[in-house]
Amino acid sequence: MIFTTQTIQEILPLLKEKLQTDHQVTFEVLNPDTVNGVYAGTEVEVNGRDYLYRSLRAWMELAQLLECRMLVPLPSKESHLLSLTFEKITADISFHDEKRENKEEKYGADSIFSQIHKMEEPAFFYYYLQALENVAIEKRKRILNLGINRGDEFEVIRKMLDTIKYQNMELVGIDHSKSAIAYARALFPEENVTFHIHDINRLQELDLGTFDLLISIGTLQSPGINFKPFFMELVQSHLHKEDSALILGFPNSRWKGGELIYGAKAPNYAMSEMSLLFNDVIFCKKYLQQKKYRVTLTGKQYIFLTATKIV
């Protein structure tokens, strides 16, 4: 199967139909390296034949939309063509669906979730690093992370700062998973890093005082947290009034079969539906602006809300 001048409107149903019965579908397309500086859908002539140009990124995005991974492109018999294969992502259980008797260990050190390394996903790491720079991480003294798990967010901070600045910080991480906290404690033996096994709904019991940076990635929307009143209480009781900042990560993706799939999945929807996601994001943005914070929204697979106090 060769795609030449077919539009995406024609290609999409063809691939969908093929993938209903087959685990893989292979087809040939114009090698995008044969053309420079044109946009998707531009008609080009190569070796006397017309093609619609598409970048490799466009084909990868199409694969993801079809819940497939795109295998490494292979050269075709004709030098200006590539052979692409879309392979359906294995429908194995994801951490979203994993059931455990001990609910606290759904995100533990031996869970499916523990196989995920968010910082190795460029679109996650890039925007998290950008958020740290936006809050001037090198100036922060007390940092609280809710849902710290094994400490990935702290690891980035430790690596990006010089030793003296890092050691002068106090970092506090909280999670309800005993095994995840045990892992984090082994990873961070430094005296300036403290971890607590605790339910963040009862944060006041720890009597931690106030912080000048709050980080929470994909935790505040967890089941069992009354999101809006909990968030307002966090801001009012656990952040410095004069100069403080927040980095919140809202998942706009799912993890499945080793892949990070774009698009939040809401209950009772077969498609990606982001109303709940943006309802929470906009609530936080408006509330923080009322409290005199400067707020930015960035990201893709995760929406990063970064806020800094206007002083």
Instruction: Classify residue 262 as exposed, middle or buried by CB count within 10 Å of its CB (0-12, 13-18, 19+).
Output: middle
Given a cut of 60, whether residue 254 has pLDDT beyond it is yes
Residue among 263, 258, 262 nearest 276 (CA): 263
Which one is the CATH code of 103-309: 3.40.50.970, 3.40.190.10, 3.30.572.10, 3.40.50.150? 3.40.50.150
Query: Are 304 and 249 contacting, i.e. CB atoms less than 8 angstroms apart?
Result: yes
Mean pLDDT computed over 221-248: 93
Q: Is the model's pTM score more than 0.85? A: yes
Q: Is 105 left (phi over 0), alpha (psi -120 to 50) or beta?
A: alpha
Q: Which is more confidently placed, 56 or 90?
A: 56
pLDDT tens across 85-142, in order? Answer: 999 998 655 555 556 555 666 667 777 777 888 999 998 999 999 999 999 999 999 9
Given a cut of 90, whether residue 57 has pLDDT beyond it is yes
Q: How confident is the model at residue 224 (pLDDT cuts 50, 70, 90)?
A: confident
Segments in the chain forming alpha helices (H): 8-21, 56-65, 122-134, 152-160, 163-167, 178-187, 227-238, 275-290
What is the average pLDDT value for the chain, to the nearest integer? 91
Q: Dihedral (C-alpha) 201, 231, 247, 165: value to the nearest 10 degrees?
A: -60
Instruction: Report d(CA 50, CA 253) in Å as an integer.
Output: 37
Q: How confident is the model at residue 269 (pLDDT cuts 50, 70, 90)?
A: confident
Spell out the domain ranges in the chain. 8-88, 103-309
Q: How confident is the model at residue 268 (pLDDT cuts 50, 70, 90)?
A: confident
Measured from the Cβ of residue 31, the count of other Cβ atoms closer than 10 Å reads: 19
Instruction: Report d(CA 193, CA 210) in Å as an integer.
Output: 16
3-state secondary structure of 2: strand
H-helix or E-strand spanning residue 250 = strand 245-251
Given a cut of 80, whether residue 72 has pLDDT beyond it is yes
Given a cut of 60, whether residue 247 has pLDDT beyond it is yes
Q: Which pLDDT belongs to residue 115? A: 80
Instruction: Report d(CA 249, CA 281) in Å as an integer.
Output: 9
